[in-house]
Amino acid sequence: MEKMRVGSRSASATLFAFAFAFAFALAFVPTLALAAQESGTDYTVAFKANTNVGTATLTVTGKGKYKGSASKTFAITKAKNTVASSKASVKKAFEAKALKKKAQTVALPKVAAKFGKATWSVKAKDKKKVLSLKGGKVRVKKGAKPGTYTMKLVASVKGTANYGGAATKAITVKVTVKK
């Protein structure tokens, strides 16, 4: 417990240990309650280094008849990142006749990362090399023969100084070419 002098008496301010996970690029301002004192009149509260991951400091300083100050450090940890997809898999069928003239594309489901922008990458290629990832869409090769083709993709977002490590979400794309 930290103490502040009040004339010949003392008032105490208990500063508890606390920690926060970083979120939304805002400064962390923990709630503070001091018995029988009023913020702004009897004391001021100041924060230092409370906008990014690391150690921040809270300082309470007495005003008027209250003298002295009390400080406490607290930790701000990386926020966990996540990636969500509107679908776990995509299935699409094409007529072989449509693929004779030109390649076709398959739209991918929307993905959202809690922090940052998610991007698609190939986790497992189509073994027959009929499907490919290009510009955020799956491309079905021109002249593809009838059959079923499968490709696994991963939506991922990288971690940053304030947001946890990389987060991923896998989906399967299955394309059927009909006669």
Each residue's pLDDT tens digit, 112-165: 988 888 999 999 999 899 999 998 899 999 999 999 999 999 999 988 888 887
Is residue 2 scored above 70 in pLDDT?
A: no
* Residue percentage of the chain with pLDDT more than 70: 78
DSSP-derived 3-state class of residue 117: coil
Query: How far is 131 from 99, CA to CA, in rounded Å?
Result: 12
Q: What pLDDT does 149 receive?
A: 97
**What is the third-level CATH fold of 83-178?**
Immunoglobulin-like (2.60.40)
**Which residues, at least 6 apart from 111, have a Cβ–Cβ distance to it below 8 Å?**
83, 84, 85, 86, 118, 120, 155, 169
| pTM for this entry | 0.66
Interstrand relation of 69-77 and 54-62 (parallel, antiparallel or unpaired): antiparallel
The domains of the chain are located at 2-77, 83-178
Each residue's pLDDT tens digit, 57-71: 888 888 888 788 888
Q: What pLDDT does 177 receive?
A: 97
CATH class, domain 2-77, is: mainly beta
Q: Are 5 and 50 in contact (CB under 8 A)?
A: no
